[in-house]
């Protein structure tokens, strides 16, 4: 009788398993007539996510995790490589970097061109057996200030933001009612949708946010649709309570007010229709017109937790080329969600070089930054600028810098200022990011939808 072999380590040649000669290489062999040697098993690979995006010359682009395994085998012995690309002008196999050990590997791509490519990712076991998975990859074009640019994926219409500390930010999107928590770049780490609590069933067109204490106010544009249709849910202002910071940030629904648009129109009527709010908000009127009705900025007045500035994208004052931007103080913002009608202070108009308010943010240093842009909808060709202001009526803002407009997207939100650097968000929803003629907001995979966050010097 031949001796039984149990768990014997062999490196070359053949061994006897249940009396049968089997070739082996650097593997553990178990005896038994019905047990296949582990060296014969095929490895597995799964990508999370299977879709990803990046940018030519991008920094900090989202990576993909490849989870690999082999039944009965050691995952650290598995090799992971990129073996094929469907479009090498976008990315070749040499542009794919695999790092990490064990069962989780990190897949990063440094694209060389704009477009789409399917990348084949292969796992190979010591026994030569292998398996593959496909990474569906999209690359956008190189942008200015690439070293200071990061991409937020999962949505493309970033429109308002609140700094959450430690590099995290809460972002509103004007195509959905979802609030998303991001960590500098990549996919959201947490999301909230308070539509049900706020009693809305349609898009709120969230365009502005402001924080006082632990309360964040979020408001829609209060304007009509792009076709001039009345959209009541865009007039919603709701509040959330924020707890924690950074990765520990949490939001809870606090309250809602649906009358601010009507209050503004009634107030303007009572004051001689000075700004034409009723006409600009009437059914059939386009909000993104020089005499339209469209709010995109919100921030509290200096030293106040009750008076908030509402900044208007439209109208200009007067509604003609070179008109002044308009800010209307709401003097009882803290009471609105309790059902009290809004009261208003003296309006503020200011010269922003013919541009209007796209966002306004008080910085930690106490000054206000105003993101100025056109009232029109042709965002990729109109100028943008950043202004500094004291927050005091009657004091003129000062131009900090012009903003680049050669890249796709519209500058929409100010996140925060730190050490003379300000972080801005660009809404890329209407941009053809990948050269296929599709708006980013219409793409089928959230990993391909993205907006840009860029740090600029704001001294």
CA–CA distance, 347 with 332 (Å, rounded to integer): 15
Measured CA to CA in angstroms, residue 194 lies from 187, 191, 316 at distances of 20, 10, 32
The 10s digit of each residue's pLDDT in 398-424 is: 999 999 999 989 999 999 998 899 999
- Distance from the Cα of residue 97 to its chain's centroid: 25
The fold of the 44-140 domain, in CATH, is Immunoglobulin-like (2.60.40)
Q: How far apart are CA 167 and CA 243, in angstroms?
A: 16
| Residue-level pLDDT at 22 | 31
Is 284 within 8 Å of 292 (Cβ atoms)?
Answer: no
**16 vs 13: CA distance, rounded Å:** 11
CA 61 – CA 116 distance, rounded (Å): 16
Specify the pLDDT at position 39.
Answer: 58
Residues near 144 by Cβ (< 8 Å), separated by ≥ 6? 404, 406, 407
Phi-psi region of 213 (alpha: psi -120 to 50; beta: other; left: phi over 0): left
What is Dmax (Cα atoms) for the chain?
A: 110
Burial grade of 443 (CB within 10 A; 0-12, 13-18, 19 or more): buried
How far is 263 from 257, CA to CA, in rounded Å?
11
Is residue 193 within 8 A of residue 179, CB to CB? The reply is yes
Q: Length of the chain, please?
A: 459
19 phi, psi to nearest 5 deg: 80, 5
Copy the structure tokens of residue 295. Answer: 């709010």
- What pLDDT sits at residue 377? 84
Rounded Cα distance between 386 and 399, Å, is 6
Quote the pLDDT of residue 459: 84
Give the strand pairing for 51-55 and 130-140: parallel
For residue 192, the model assigns a pLDDT of 98
What's the chain's Rg over C-alpha atoms? Answer: 28
What single-letter DSSP state applies at residue 184?
S
The pLDDT value given to residue 79? 98
Tens digits of residue pLDDT in 312-329: 999 999 999 999 999 999
pLDDT value at residue 414? 98
The CATH label, of 3.40.50, 2.115.10, 1.10.10, 2.60.40, for the domain at 146-457 is 2.115.10
Model pLDDT for residues 329-361, shown as the tens digit of each residue: 999 999 999 999 999 999 999 999 999 999 999
- Is the full-model pTM beyond 0.85? yes
Whether residue 457 is preceded by a cis peptide bond, meaning omega within 30 degrees of 0, is no
Stretches where the chain sits below pLDDT 70 are: 1-39
**Domain residue spans of the chain:** 8-40, 44-140, 146-457
- pLDDT of 222 reads 98
- Across-strand partners of 27? 10
| Whether 409 contacts 403, CB under 8 Å | no
Instruction: Give the span between the Cα atoms of 456 and 454, in whole angstroms.
Output: 6
């Amino acid at each position: 009788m031949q001796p039984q072999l149990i768990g014997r380590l062999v490196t070359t040649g053949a061994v006897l398993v249940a009396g049968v000669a089997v070739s082996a290489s650097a593997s553990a062999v178990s005896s038994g007539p019905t047990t296949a040697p582990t060296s014969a098993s095929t490895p597995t690979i799964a990508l999370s996510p299977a879709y990803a995006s990046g940018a030519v010359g991008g920094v900090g682009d989202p990576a993909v995790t490849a989870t690999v395994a082999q039944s009965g085998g050691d995952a650290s012995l598995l090799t992971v490589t990129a073996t094929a690309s469907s479009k090498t002008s976008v990315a070749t196999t040499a542009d794919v970097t695999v790092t990490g050990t064990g069962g989780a590997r990190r897949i990063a791509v440094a694209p060389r061109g704009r477009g789409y490519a399917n990348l084949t990712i292969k796992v190979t076991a010591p026994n030569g057996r292998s398996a593959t998975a496909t990474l569906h990859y999209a690359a956008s074009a190189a942008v200015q200030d690439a070293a200071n640019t990061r991409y937020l994926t999962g949505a493309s219409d970033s429109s308002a933001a609140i700094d959450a500390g430690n590099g995290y930010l809460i972002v509103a999107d004007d195509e959905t009612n979802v609030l998303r928590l991001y960590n500098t770049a990549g996919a959201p780490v947490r999301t909230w949708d308070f539509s049900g609590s706020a009693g809305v069933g349609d898009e709120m067109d969230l365009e502005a946010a402001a924080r006082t204490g632990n309360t964040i106010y979020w408001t829609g544009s209060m304007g009509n649709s792009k076709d001039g249709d009345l959209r009541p849910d865009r007039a919603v202002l709701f509040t959330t309570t924020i707890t924690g910071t950074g990765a520990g940030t949490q939001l809870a629904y606090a309250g809602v007010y649906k009358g601010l648009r009507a209050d503004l129109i009634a107030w303007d009527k009572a004051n001689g229709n000075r700004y034409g709010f009723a006409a600009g908000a009437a059914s059939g009127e386009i909000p993104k017109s020089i005499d339209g009705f469209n709010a995109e900025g919100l921030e509290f007045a200096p030293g106040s937790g009750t008076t908030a500035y509402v900044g208007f994208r439209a109208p200009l004052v007067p509604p003609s080329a070179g008109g002044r931007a308009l800010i209307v103080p709401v003097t009882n913002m803290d009471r609105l969600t309790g059902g009290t009608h809004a009261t208003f202070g003296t309006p503020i108009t200011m010269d922003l070089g013919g541009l209007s308010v796209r966002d306004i943010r008080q910085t930690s240093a106490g000054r206000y930054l105003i993101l100025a842009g056109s009232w029109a909808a042709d965002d990729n060709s109109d100028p943008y600028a950043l202004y500094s202001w004291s927050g005091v009526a009657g004091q003129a803002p000062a131009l900090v810098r012009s903003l680049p407009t050669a890249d796709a997207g519209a500058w929409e939100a100010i996140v925060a200022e730190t050490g003379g650097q300000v972080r801005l968000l660009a809404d890329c929803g209407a941009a053809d990011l990948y050269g296929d003629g599709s708006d980013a907001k219409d793409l089928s995979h959230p990993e391909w939808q993205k907006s840009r966050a860029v740090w600029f010097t704001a001294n």
